[in-house]
């Protein structure tokens, strides 16, 4: 007999709408699993059982009234959705993964949380993240590392590693995540999930922590494309004060409606090499891309190899901007010594960047987006780009961390994730799909990127791939 966590998020929501499942029952199920398994996988930095129970009870009252009155409910009403601890939830501890901020409480909701509340979702807690979301693993000084449930010796990735571990271990049906250099897609690859980074401006980063660089955005981590699309529908939309806004869907359209739609015959470019010079791609990651290219070709798409119109200077520009972001994270006076070595290294580097240098690097990154749009993916060019999500299977916990030499650590991070930050620089939507496994059963993700503002087509072809080679039935032993 299936347990509640075997159901997808949309299946849970439909059962709640029909009166076959109580949000209270569902929430208690997940709270019990978190109590039993969270210390093993390191998914949460802060658990919020009291808030979860209050919200679940309110969702049950709303669902009962809606059935009585014949009103429809929002598509994820009553479904638990944890929030990554780089986003604020008013009245809840907000650490950003840093011991220096271990007792800080958020004064306001971020806009993504406002939208989650309006959708009737239930907050189980704040998920684990590395300090300030800077590296692509999730290890900090606040709690245990986030581990992929597929092999507990290995990392769940980062910086949304806690969100990935929660969904992959069945501690939540889906999760809010964020991505400034691959931080949704890398955990998706490590944990065997769907991770969708929306277009720049699709999801608001306000009202307090606006990312004026345009690199980062919030998005969904889920087990299925349909669940990811449903959560994107909740999160997406412009808000007052946004620095960027993406083109809106046609009136009445949703991202969920793209699931099951025929994407048509697409032109898909397979990236011939990694954007980071010298990065080596593991045999299993290359095999995953080759298998996916063959699958796409078999589905009727035109697939061919393509080279990127970029050079090594882009990496330096991204690093310069990333270090300035690190330098601007707020740290209370006298608490700098509590920061991790990589954080201190990046903050020191960022503090030396002049205003003109920062501006030139931002111009270079935005010029890259224009170059890709004009030369690689104009109308009549490629519709999608295919590559590995990361360059290797999930690393061992601690393998990428190098407290003695943070500069070498940052280089190792770049070598492990040479593909992902490209689409943060260009602003394009990109998704990691769990289409491959190693012979040992480790998940390997493949990444598809679409034209700016065109998540709809990316979702429809992702659903087509999922239908051709389903993955949701694959679950780790601890499930």
Residues that are catalytic: 84, 159, 183
CB 309 within 8 A of CB 376: yes
Q: Could you give the CA distance from residue 378 to residue 370 in angstroms, rounded to a whole number? A: 10
Exposure string of 433-468, with b = 16+ CB inside 10 Å and e = fewer, is: bbbbbbeeebbbbbbbbbbbbbbbbbbbbbbbbbee
Element (H, E) at 387: strand 384-388
Contacts of residue 156, defined as CB under 8 A and 6 or more positions apart, other chains included, come to: 41, 42, 138, 145, 146, 147, 148, 149, 162, 164, 165, 168, 187, 190, 191, 394
For the sheet with 430-437, list strands across it: 174-179, 217-222, 194-197, 430-437, 443-450, 384-388, 267-271, 302-306
Q: How far is CA 260 from CA 66, 73, 104, 299, in A?
A: 28, 22, 44, 14
Q: Could you give the CA distance from residue 274 to residue 418 in angstroms, rounded to a whole number? A: 6
Q: Is 185 helix (H, G, I), strand (E, B) or coil?
A: helix
Phi–psi pair at 184, nearest 5 degrees: -95, -45
CB 463 within 8 A of CB 225: yes
Q: Could you give the CA distance from residue 151 to residue 157 in angstroms, rounded to a whole number? A: 12
CB 275 within 8 A of CB 422: yes
Helix residue ranges per DSSP H, 42-170: 49-69, 111-118, 161-168
* Six token digits for residue 115: 């939208």
Of 473, 376, 400, the C-alpha closest to 434 is 473
Q: Could you give the CA distance from residue 17 to residue 39 in angstroms, rounded to a whole number? A: 33
Q: Could you give the CA distance from residue 464 to residue 475 in angstroms, rounded to a whole number? A: 21
Q: Is 209 helix (H, G, I), strand (E, B) or coil?
A: coil
**Geometric angle at alpha carbon 211, from 177 and 242, rounded to 5°:** 100
- The DSSP code for 466 is H
């Amino acid at each position: 007999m299936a347990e509640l966590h075997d159901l997808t998020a949309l299946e849970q929501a439909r059962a709640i709408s029909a009166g076959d499942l109580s949000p209270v029952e569902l929430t208690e199920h997940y709270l019990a699993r978190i109590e039993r398994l969270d210390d093993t996988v390191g998914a949460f930095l802060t658990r919020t059982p009291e808030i979860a129970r209050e919200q679940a009870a309110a969702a049950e009252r709303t669902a009962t009234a809606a059935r009585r009155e014949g009103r429809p409910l929002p598509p994820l009403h009553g479904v638990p959705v944890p929030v990554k601890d780089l986003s604020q939830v008013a009245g809840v501890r907000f650490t950003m993964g840093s011991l220096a901020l271990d007792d800080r409480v958020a004064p306001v909701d971020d806009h993504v949380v406002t939208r989650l509340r309006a959708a009737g979702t239930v907050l189980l807690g704040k998920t684990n993240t590395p300090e300030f979301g800077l590296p692509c693993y999730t290890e900090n000084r606040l709690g245990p590392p986030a581990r992929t449930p597929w092999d507990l010796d290995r990392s769940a990735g980062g910086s949304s590693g806690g969100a990935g571990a929660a969904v992959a271990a069945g501690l939540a049906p889906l999760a809010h995540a964020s991505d400034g250099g691959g931080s949704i897609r890398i955990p998706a690859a490590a944990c065997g999930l769907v991770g969708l980074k929306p277009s720049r401006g699709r999801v608001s980063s306000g009202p307090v922590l606006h990312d004026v660089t345009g690199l980062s955005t919030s998005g969904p981590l889920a087990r299925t494309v349909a669940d990811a699309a449903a959560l994107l529908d909740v999160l997406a939309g412009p808000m007052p004060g946004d620095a960027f806004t993406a083109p809106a869907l046609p009136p009445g359209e949703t991202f969920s409606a793209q699931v099951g739609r025929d994407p048509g015959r697409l032109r898909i470019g397979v990236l011939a090499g990694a954007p980071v010079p010298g990065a080596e791609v593991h045999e299993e990651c290359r095999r995953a891309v080759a298998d996916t290219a063959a699958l796409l070709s078999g589905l009727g798409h035109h697939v061919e190899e393509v080279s990127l119109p970029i050079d090594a200077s882009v990496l330096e520009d991204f690093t310069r901007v990333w270090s300035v972001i690190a330098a601007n994270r707020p740290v209370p006076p006298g608490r700098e010594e509590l920061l991790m070595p990589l954080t201190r290294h990046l903050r020191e580097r960022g503090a030396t960047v002049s205003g003109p240098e920062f501006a030139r690097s931002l111009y270079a990154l935005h010029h890259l987006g224009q170059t890709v749009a004009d030369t690689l993916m104009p109308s009549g060019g490629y519709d999608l780009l295919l590559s590995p999500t990361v360059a290797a299977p999930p690393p061992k916990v601690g393998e990428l961390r190098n407290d003695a030499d943070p500069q070498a650590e940052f280089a190792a991070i770049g070598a492990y994730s040479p593909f992902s930050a490209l689409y943060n620089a260009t602003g394009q939507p990109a998704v990691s799909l769990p289409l491959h496994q190693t012979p040992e059963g480790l998940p390997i993700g493949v990444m598809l990127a679409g034209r700016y503002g065109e998540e709809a087509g990316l979702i429809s072809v992702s659903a087509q791939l999922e239908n051709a080679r389903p993955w949701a039935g694959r679950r780790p032993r601890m499930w």
